[in-house]
């Protein structure tokens, strides 16, 4: 199976999901995980960069994401799309890296195929960890990691509310979509206030 990226459009993502599903059905876990990391890696890396606001933290979180996806993909049951499931893995990796415990005790990542594929994506996607649109990124720095995640998932990645809820749900606790919408409105209001304070809005 090739390492073709899934692409950003629905057709590309559907093709990626089909390749991963076929590999899993054939018991080819390494092939499936490699396809998933290569295909979804660039957009996941961009998400982590925006949520964490630091290229180094994003790279750490992406390596952690890759290891967890590699180990957890066999248990993927298809109750949501592979893309949404991957974003959930990425969000938990971001929380792990953002926590104080990560700096006190960095999680030991295995030297494995997962880390090698992650390094390949990191090397080929340097633009994903660079700060895009400096003004917007500066404003996003005033948001919490949860607020940035909500903004990126809904605005940048255009996930449906039910998908955003699936990504960001607590352990065993599904988030209410209506509550997420209200939180999103508060984030937009906060961004507006930050923009006015920075003189970016009249």
* CATH match for 131-202 among 3.40.50.970, 3.90.1530.10, 1.10.10.10, 1.10.3470.10: 1.10.10.10
Q: What is the pTM of this model?
A: 0.76
Residue among 13, 12, 31 nearest 22 (CA): 31
Taking CA atoms, 161 is separated from 62, 154, 165, 166, in Å, by: 24, 7, 6, 9
Question: Where do the structural domains in the chain lie, given as residue ranges?
Answer: 1-130, 131-202
C-alpha distance across the termini of the chain, in Å: 53
Taking only the tens place, the pLDDT of each residue in 51-70 is: 888 888 888 899 999 999 99
Taking only the tens place, the pLDDT of each residue in 109-166 is: 554 666 666 667 666 655 554 444 444 556 666 788 888 898 889 888 889 999 999 9
Residue among 9, 125, 147 nearest 62 (CA): 125
- pLDDT at residue 188 in the model: 83
Taking only the tens place, the pLDDT of each residue in 116-126 is: 666 676 666 55
Per-residue pLDDT for 104 more than 50? Answer: no
């Amino acid at each position: 199976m090739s390492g073709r990226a899934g692409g950003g459009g629905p057709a590309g993502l559907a093709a990626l999901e089909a390749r991963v599903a076929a590999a899993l059905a054939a018991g080819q876990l390494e092939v499936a995980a490699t396809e998933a990391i290569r295909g979804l890696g660039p957009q996941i890396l961009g998400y982590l960069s925006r949520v964490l606001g630091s290229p180094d933290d994003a790279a750490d979180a992406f390596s952690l994401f890759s290891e967890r996806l590699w180990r957890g993909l066999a248990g993927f049951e298809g109750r949501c799309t592979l893309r949404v499931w991957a974003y959930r893995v990425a969000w938990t990796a971001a929380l792990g890296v953002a926590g104080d415990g990560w700096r006190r005790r960095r999680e030991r990542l295995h030297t494995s195929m997962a880390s090698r594929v992650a390094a390949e994506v990191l090397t080929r996607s340097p633009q994903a960890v660079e700060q895009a649109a400096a003004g917007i990124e500066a404003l996003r720095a005033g948001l919490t990691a949860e607020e940035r995640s909500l903004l990126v998932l809904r605005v940048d990645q255009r996930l449906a509310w039910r998908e955003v809820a699936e990504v960001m749900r607590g352990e065993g606790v599904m988030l209410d979509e209506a509550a997420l919408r209200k939180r999103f409105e508060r984030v937009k209001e906060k961004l507006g206030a930050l923009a006015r304070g920075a003189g970016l809005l009249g």
